[in-house]
Amino acid sequence: METSKKLILGIYDSPDKTYATTKKLINNGFSVYDVYSPFAIHGLDRVMGIKRSRLTVAAFCCAMLGLSLAVTFQVYVSYFDWQMNVGGKPSLHIPTYIPITFELSILFTAFGMVTAFFIVNKMFWGKNADIMDLRVTDDLFVIAIDVKKSKADMGSLNQLLIDGGAIEVRERTKEL
C-alpha cells in the first residue's frame, strides 16, 4: 500500500493565474491533486470536477431529528405525563409547540453540521494540519499535481507551470 505521494507544487501570487493554469493542466491531461488558496476562487471547483457537497442532506436530516424529538417530547409531557389546564386550552395544542420545535430544529442542525463537517474533513482533535506551503495561509496560491497519475513528462509540466506565471516550482512528498 502506498504511504506517500509525490507532488509537484506550483506557487502563484494571483487567483487568476492559478485558475487559468489549473484549467490548462487539466486540459493537458495532468492530475491536479488539489489547489490551496487563502480564499475561494470562483469556478475552480467546476474546473477540477469536484462534486457538490452533500452537507445539505446532513443538515436536513439533523433538522428533522430535532423537529421530531421536540414534538415527541412536548406531546409526551403535555398530554401523557403532566397534563395541565392552562386557560382552558386543550392538552394537545399544536401552535404552542411551534417555537420550541423551531429552536430545537435549528440547534440540532447547527451541531449536526459542525460535527458532519469535522468528520468528513477528518479534522479530529489532536490531528495536525498538513499545509503544503506556509505562505498559502497568507497571500499565495498552490497547485499540487500528482506525479504518478499524470501521463505527461515532467519537463512539459514544469514549463506549463512557469508559463502560467508560477513564482516557484518545487517537489514535495506528502505522507498519507
Domain spans of the chain, in order of start? 4-51+131-175, 55-120
**Residue at grid coordinates 487567483:** 15
pLDDT at residue 152, as a whole number: 64
For the chain, residues with pLDDT lower than 50 are none
pLDDT tens per residue, range 34-74: 999 888 899 999 999 899 888 899 999 999 999 999 999 99
Task: Report the candidate in 56, 54, 50 with the shortest Cα–Cα distance to residue 35.
Answer: 50
pLDDT at residue 173, as a whole number: 82
Q: Return all residues near 164 (Cβ < 8 A) that are at least 6 apart.
A: 10, 12, 17, 20, 21, 24
- Asked if the 4-51+131-175 domain carries CATH number 3.40.50.300, the reply is no
Task: Tell me the CA distances in angstroms from 49 to 7, 31, 53, one per residue in order.
Answer: 19, 11, 12
- Has this prediction a pTM greater than 0.75? no
In sign, the C-alpha dihedral spanning 109, 110, 115, 120 is: positive
